[in-house]
Amino acid sequence: MRVVVTGGAGYIGAHVVRLLTTQGCDVIVLDDLSFGRADRIGSARLVTLDLAMTTNLGPLTDALAGADAVIHLAARKQVGESMSRPAWYYQQNVGGMAQLLLAMEAAGVRKLVYSSSAATYGMPDVGVVTEDTPLRPINPYGETKVVGEQMAGAAARAWGLSVVSLRYFNVAGAGWPDLGDPAVLNLVPMVFEPLSAGEPPRIFGDDHPTPDGTCVRDYVHVMDLAEAHLTALKAMDDGGTHAIFNVGTGRGYSVREVVAEVFRASGLVVPPVVCPRREGDPALLIADPTRIRLALGWEASRGLEEIVASAWAAWGQRAG
């Protein structure tokens, strides 16, 4: 099976690529290498291009020739940046998706796994969200992910594309120590960084309506997430359908619980400082993962301890 992975040199993408490769797939990575790193994709073939550039439609279509499926992870994903550069986020994420769909149609590739996000829900009224919870994104990043799902659905209806959209919750951990998250943009690495320097981690608000006052999230191991992509790919038929799944564990942990787990895994303890709430943080965001379990038989098998321990091992190995 030949699979094209856009964003395959990034943190999540590299896990998907390695899993596909170990299962004998022929993998082609499309990545602009703005965050991705070529040394993370092993023997997969790399095509370096920015999907969103309209002049790249030809090379993109060529790269898809003969592929059986696409896993589309390439996107910008920083919420704060999306608020300061909204048009660029639309150009990159929505423009990139448009180009990809045009190229897939032209190349006759009819299977897609699309990387969506819990950011599509925004600040839901309920703590545990099903796929039917209304989508009310509160930032341009989340909006682009909603539009991406809509585009995928429209392509399914128009020309028979089969799509699975996966709404990722809080992804962390490392499946292999050399594939840790190189960015310091999410809670786990944002605790590691100060702690490694003997400084206190920061907690953004302890006055939320949650049991310990800190925000509760559903942390999913990147390896479980990567496996969800492969499961989705294998289950997909040629029927021109669009299935949407939450990818989470159904279990929430507070920021304080995550920080305590980092102290345990690292053996380092510097009491955290409590800062003001961060704008736009929902107090609770937990996946109801029932639909993906029933439809695909996927469920997360790794918990917070393994997430943090694997991330810490990878943190110790990170280069640069």
Binding mask 267-286 for ligand UFG (x = CB under 6 A): -----------x--x---x-
Instruction: Considering only the stretches 80-88, 112-120, 296-304, 306-314, report the one whose residues sit in contact with ligand UFG under the rule CB under 6 A.
Output: 112-120
Kindly tell me which residue out of 82, 170, 231, 246 binds ligand UFG, with binding defined by CB under 6 A.
Answer: 170
Residue 251: closest CA among 169, 135, 156? 169
Residue 297: count of CB within 10 angstroms of its CB = 9
Binding of ligand UFG at residue 215 (CB under 6 A)? yes
Phi, psi of 196 (to 5 degrees): -60, -25
Binding of ligand UFG at residue 264 (CB under 6 A)? no
Smallest gap from residue 70 Cβ to ligand UFG (A) = 21
CA dihedral angle for residue 184, residue 185, residue 189, residue 192, rounded to 10 degrees: 70
Kindly tell me which residue out of 255, 284, 292, 311 binds ligand UFG, with binding defined by CB under 6 A.
Answer: 255
Q: Rounded to whole angstroms, how far apart are CA atoms 76 and 74? A: 7
Smallest gap from residue 191 Cβ to ligand UFG (A) = 6
Give catalytic status of residue 11 as yes or no.
no
Q: Rounded to whole angstroms, how far apart are CA atoms 14 and 20? A: 10
Kindly tell me which residue out of 5, 52, 79, 230 binds ligand UFG, with binding defined by CB under 6 A.
Answer: 79
Binding of ligand UFG at residue 204 (CB under 6 A)? yes
- Given strand 26-31, what is the order of strands in its sheet? 45-48, 26-31, 2-6, 69-72, 111-117, 162-168, 242-247
Q: Which of 11, 89, 114, 141 is catalytic?
A: 141
Smallest gap from residue 36 Cβ to ligand UFG (A) = 17
**Look-up: residue for tokens 């993109």?**
60
Q: Rounded to whole angstroms, how far apart are CA atoms 307 and 302? A: 7
Binding site for ligand UFG (CB under 6 A): 77, 79, 117-119, 141, 170, 186-187, 190, 202-204, 215, 217, 255, 278, 281, 285
